[in-house]
Amino acid sequence: MVTGTLAIYHRLRQWWIRVTAVVSGAILFIAFLLTLTSWFLNPSTEEPQSLIPSGSNLVDLTLIRNADEKGAVCLDGSRPGYHLQRGFGSGSDSWVLHLESGGWCDSADSCSYRQGTPLGSSHYMELQASFVGILSQAPSENPDFYNWNRVKIRYCDGASFSGDTEVQAKSGRKLFFRGQRIWEAIMEELLSEGLGKAKQAFLTGCSAGGLAIYIHCDSFRALMPKEANVKCLGDASFFLDVKDVSGKRTMQSFYKEVVRLQNVGKNLPADCTKRTEPSQCFFPHELIKTIKTPLFILNSAYDYWQIQNVLVPEDSDPRGHWLRCKKNIHNCHPNQIEILQGFRTSLLHTLSEFQHKKDAGMFINSCFVHCQTMSNVTWHSPKSPKINNRTIAEAVGDWYFGRREAIYVDCPYPCNPTCYHRNFN
């Protein structure tokens, strides 16, 4: 652990590294933003820092031991890491794990860019992380899991913890696509830290981290004691395979390149890859067909990331008719709202069979938002979005502990006055 003056030194050093990287990479970054891929690399998938109270507790970064020997490294070859805060009291034998968000990369160039960011290198990761939302230690903010062992697992591989190969970029630098090995190494280390004796375990994740939940949920269950209560939750990660507003399947094409580049196919659930091509098994609608572990799906029907990148990616709107709508749902004109309602219908249709599955949980609200487990406001607070007078935290807790059924589907936008809507203006 780093303390006192040494901690200040490390923070200043990390700040200087980031500033230097930003200046030196400015030209590359601008060019990068002009490509479609840049939309899928947006690291701002969690809610803004303004929603995180200044008094939130900070938890130190731990880098994986012997990661180099296992080949379990980030895109740049550095060691991956996690933040662990120990549980106490009745939660000492219970664990909640959260996989970080951060998009994907589908080319050597875009993955090379990530090597200079926290999404591709632990050299740029914060030494401490704020634990909020489902990781908060405050009972008022996190009533059911506040005293559990809580872990935030950092994301630095670019393929939802599922790739396993390496390539050489044009720059001559190697790119290590080792997401599967990172997943295995982190699980091995956490098992030795007490996860292997857990009585309750909850695997959660947001966005790209949530997609990893769908991929690894059953394998996580297999690592736990048979008598343990083990469940999974995917937040803002039910990415749809639908046509964008120009008629193209942008997300499908993008995922094909991610799977091909990072050799993901061999690590996807075999039950899925036996019946369809590997890139289709990167979509949750295929993965949930065979997941046996109890699963909770948390999503907005108007998830802003999907609206901005799946439904209306930049190339699909060359004249910018959707720009104001994509920044603030209140700016959408009636024809655009009609298209958004069609997107909602597609989501609900895709989930129609899942919601009748035994042990299923679901919370589909109508807020223009993304990643609701990692914000105190959206997770559980007086200002939280509610369905049937239940916050997300209450609905998830009811489902996890079997207190009541937890299938919540909101009415269409703009009917829910409790919604928090992200405003990019």
pLDDT tens track for 124-182: 999 999 999 999 999 999 999 999 999 999 999 999 999 999 998 777 889 999 999 99
* Options 370, 380, 384, 421, the catalytic residue: 370
Please indicate whether residue 356 is annotated as part of the active site.
no
Name the DSSP letter for residue 52.
Answer: S
Contact 114, 29 (CB under 8 A): no
Please indicate whether residue 106 is annotated as part of the active site.
no
Tell me how many degrees the CA angle 310-218-249 measures, rounded to the nearest 5: 15
Distance separating alpha carbons of residues 11 and 384, to the nearest angstrom: 33
Residue 260 has pLDDT above 80, yes or no: yes
Residue 122 has pLDDT above 70, yes or no: yes
Please indicate whether residue 370 is annotated as part of the active site.
yes
Using one digit for the tens of pLDDT, what is the confidence trace for 327-340? Answer: 999 999 999 999 99
- Per DSSP, the residues of 125-171 read S-SEEE--GGG---TTT-TTTTTSEEEEE---SSSSS---EEEE-TT
Q: How far does Cα 82 stand from its chain's mean position?
A: 14
* Options 164, 218, 235, 303, the catalytic residue: 303
The helix (H) or strand (E) run that includes residue 397 is helix 392-400
Contact 211, 232 (CB under 8 A): no
What pLDDT band is residue 50 in, cutting at 50, 70 and 90? very low
What three-state secondary structure class fits 89? helix
Distance separating alpha carbons of residues 318 and 26, to the nearest angstrom: 24
Tell me the chain's radius of gyration from C-alpha atoms.
Answer: 20
Query: Does this model's pTM top 0.75?
Result: yes
Residue 1 has pLDDT above 80, yes or no: no
* Options 78, 94, 162, 207, the catalytic residue: 207
Distance separating alpha carbons of residues 186 and 267, to the nearest angstrom: 16
Domains annotated on the chain, with CATH: 35-300 (3.40.50)
Q: What percent of the chain has pLDDT over 70?
A: 87
Distance separating alpha carbons of residues 165 and 229, to the nearest angstrom: 34
